[in-house]
Amino acid sequence: MLRQNSGGGFRIPPTLIVAVVMAGFTLFKYCASATVNPLTGEKQHIAMSTEQEIAMGLQSAPQMIAEMGGEVKGTQADALVRQIGNELVASTEAAKTPYAEQFNFHLLNDPNTVNAFALPGGQIFITTGLLGRLENKDQLAGVLGHEIGHVVARHSAEKMAQMELAQGLTGAVTMATYDPSNPNSGYIAQSVANMLQLKYGRSQELQSDELGVLLMLQAGYDPEQLIGVMEILKQASGGQKVPEFQSSHPDPENRKEHIRAAIEKYKK
């Protein structure tokens, strides 16, 4: 905003100048981080190397295991998770990525949580709560293929760059528009940033579903079973549907349609 000075002219508030500089630097840094993912062919904005991703995942894995009931080892279930996970890497496009030798598949001793997730660089986890609901090996391959998709598509590193962009722009907007008489002005800017980040999350989930289909086909698994996984996730949620715009994960019904489209795409 412009303010009139005592001489009748207008001056730009120092906070606005600082805000413009902050926003310009944030945008420049983000745009300069552009790279093309060799597997997906898409341009991404990533500010860290694959080596940094791998190191981050290895450092975070022990804490993640400790927080979720510990790791199940020496059982048939654990061996099955590692077997199918390793097959999905060795016999697919994932073998050509920098993470090929780093993938490690963990079964977590958490029967109450129905979930699977991946850390940057190749550390992949599935809970006993989700594994116990799966009906066959193909569904397990679908879950693990989806998580491998997150790794090879570098979604964690991409998300971090997006969060840095959102935080930088939010800080600039807050500084430029903050009104002492309206304390909610900063909160509104942060809410907009959070919504932008959720949108990126849904897009990444859908891309991982598609990559999961591709990896399943390449490894000889039935990708139709990934649709069954979506039904399991829907049932596990207790039938409570969160509005898709406010969720980091797309609605299971929406994901089913994208999975069917990916099957048609890659079966040709």
Q: What tens digit of pLDDT does each residue of 77-129 get?
A: 999 999 999 999 999 999 999 999 999 999 999 999 999 999 889 999 999 99
pLDDT at 182: 53
Q: Mean pLDDT over residues 242-254, rounded?
A: 61
Higher pLDDT residue, 227 or 187? 227
Strands 123-127 and 116-118: antiparallel
Residue 53 structure tokens: 């991703």
- With both helix axes pointing from N to C terminus, report the angle between 184-219 and 225-236 in degrees, rounded to the nearest 10: 140
130-to-29, 32, 93, 105, 258 alpha-carbon distances in Å: 40, 40, 26, 14, 22
Q: What is the band of 14 on the pLDDT scale with cuts at 50, 70, 90?
A: low
Q: What is the band of 185 on the pLDDT scale with cuts at 50, 70, 90?
A: very low
pLDDT at 231: 92
Alpha-carbon distance of 79 to 114, in angstroms, equals 19
DSSP per-residue codes, 188-221: HHHHHHHHHHHHHHHHHHHHHHHHHHHHHHHHT-
Q: What is the band of 157 on the pLDDT scale with cuts at 50, 70, 90?
A: confident
**Which of 113, 206, 132, 204 shows the shortest CA–CA distance to 140?**
132
Is 147 one of the annotated active-site residues of the chain?
yes
Indicate which residue of 51, 101, 147, 224 is catalytic. Answer: 147
Q: Provide the residue type at 21 as one letter.
A: V
Alpha-carbon distance of 115 to 130, in angstroms, equals 6
129-to-2, 7, 84, 225 alpha-carbon distances in Å: 58, 71, 18, 18
Give the residues across from 118 on adjacent strands.
Answer: 124
**Any idea what DSSP says for residue 73?**
-
pLDDT at 244: 45
Q: Mean pLDDT over residues 148-164, rounded?
A: 81
User: Does residue 39 have a pLDDT over 80?
Assistant: no
pLDDT at 132: 96
Q: How many CA atoms lie within 13 A of 133 on its CB side?
A: 22
Q: Mean pLDDT over residues 22-34, rounded?
A: 51
User: Does residue 207 have a pLDDT over 80?
Assistant: yes
Please state whether the predicted TM-score (pTM) of the whole model is above 0.85.
no
pLDDT at 165: 54
Q: What is the band of 42 on the pLDDT scale with cuts at 50, 70, 90?
A: confident
